[in-house]
Amino acid sequence: MTARAALDAGLARIAAEDQHWHAMLALDPTAAARAEAIDAAIGPRGALHGVTIAIKDNIDLAGMATTSGCRALAQALAPGDATVVARLRAAGAVPIGKTNLSEFSFEIRSRSSLGGDVLCPFDPATTAGGSSGGSAVAVACGYARVALGTDTGGSIRIPAAVCGVVGFRPAHGALPMHGIAPLAPSTDTVGPLAASVADALMVYRAMGGTVAPLADRTSPVRVGVLRMAQGEDPRIVQALDVACARLDRTGVTLVDPFVCDALPEWLDGAHIVDVEFAAAFDRYLAHHFATGTAPRSLAELVAGGDFLPDHAEALHRRMAADPAQAAGILARHAGLKLALVRAMADARVDGLIYPTLRVVPDSLDNPAGGWAAELAARTGWPAISVPVRSTPDARPIGVELLLPDGEEARLFALAHKLEAA
């Protein structure tokens, strides 16, 4: 189809359905003109020629506000495209609009003072996950072919797992974060949510991500099954079992269970968001937006009270935090990474597999998701959540693959094997 036809199909779905799911906060008024210009263009085509893309509303889209879901930022005019958005435009993508999210990206549900709760298309009484819930629903419901989200501690992979789509968290530092609202710069990343592993890889490359060629090897790939992270929900356990059986049939060697006794110890303690958010967001407000369109400090925003009341305590606590605590927290991240490297070397495994979440959300509250998503955040390694159906009519469950940075090609190859199986 033409770019304009693809755009119109997505817009029609939004008009017909989004009053149920609350995934979109704003539509790009220039999208139709851009799609028509792409259709009329003569010459080489980019890798994403005419592909519609939804943008999480903590990522800049030229000519539109970047709200982070907050009423106080409803008019916060972005100075231009975020770097990754500019790269997607250069590849031919058509941004369709901005998606709802957890306000400030604070939670693993998606609730904002601007858009309310993003609801799960599989169960509208439950959350779509967060913080990139609107982006996950935009892909799941066919509003756009792909979407962008951010991931600090699981915010791409968790909603992808809940909504039955693919979510890829790149290695920390693999992509530029210019034009993206900060949460915790030491672990913030930006990445794609997509209907397939191939689409996620295509978008990652268009954003500037590098995937080194797979090295030749004669031994089979070995993957450790991290049963410590699976919890007790039988649907989650069954999905992991099905995923492992399918990988086993493709020739992947599974080490089941893979054990790293040091993980609970290194995962304990304060979270990096608690000590990095306030200073980072304060700098962002001071310098980022057009004059007069947004508060110029976090203190001014909080004093105005125009934000989700749920976050009042967290905002005050994080503003009072001592930034000097970051060094100790990051030292714990380094300790966790070293413990994981050693355990993987002892077990001779290339990567790990585990459920993205321990539970299937059963309400609009934050789900008790467990710590699995933090492994990628705290090591800085790339990870991908792939939906797995235990039977053809079952609700998909997200299963995550984690490999060290520099192993993106093998990570995508394993994810494709799992998806194809």
Q: What is the pLDDT of residues 300-316, one digit of tens each?
A: 999 999 999 999 999 99
Q: Which of 132, 135, 155, 196 is catalytic?
A: 155
Confidence of residue 218 (pLDDT cuts 50, 70, 90): confident
Average pLDDT over residues 62-89: 98
Q: For the chain, give the number of residues.
A: 421
219 is catalytic: no
Q: Is the dihedral of CA 168, 174, 180, 185 positive or negative?
A: positive
Q: Domain 1-421, CATH 3.40.50.720 — does that match? A: no
For residue 215, is pLDDT > 90? Answer: no
pLDDT for the residue numbered 24 = 98
Closest CA to 404 of 381, 421, 384, 385: 381
Q: Indicate the DSSP class of residue 367.
A: P
Distance CA 337, CA 251 (A): 28
List pLDDT tens digits, range 267-282.
999 999 999 999 999 9
Q: Could you tell me whether strands 351-355 and 222-225 are parallel, antiparallel, or unpaired per DSSP bridges?
A: parallel
pLDDT for the residue numbered 230 = 95
Query: In this structure, are residues 96 and 28 in contact, taking their beta carbons and an 8 Å threshold?
Result: yes
Helices marked H in 53-210 — which ranges?
Answer: 83-90, 133-140, 157-163, 197-206
Can you point out the beta strands (E) in 75-195? 94-99, 111-112, 116-117, 119-120, 123-127, 146-151, 166-169, 189-194
Distance CA 150, CA 170 (A): 10
Confidence of residue 419 (pLDDT cuts 50, 70, 90): very high
CA 143 to the chain's CA centroid: 17
112 is catalytic: no
pLDDT for the residue numbered 219 = 85
Provide CB contacts within 8 A for 405, sequence distance 6+: 171, 172, 174, 380, 381, 382
CA 102 to the chain's CA centroid: 12
Q: Which of 68, 105, 131, 385 is catalytic?
A: 131
**Mean pLDDT score of the chain, rounded to an integer?**
97
pLDDT for the residue numbered 217 = 80
Helices 234-249 and 408-420 sit at what angle, rounded to 10 degrees? Answer: 100
For residue 78, is pLDDT > 90? Answer: yes
Q: Which of 56, 112, 135, 186 is catalytic?
A: 56
Query: In this structure, are residues 108 and 129 in contact, taking their beta carbons and an 8 Å threshold?
Result: yes
Enumerate the domain spans of the chain: 1-421
pLDDT for the residue numbered 199 = 98
Q: What are phi and psi of 135, to 5 degrees?
A: -65, -40
56 is catalytic: yes
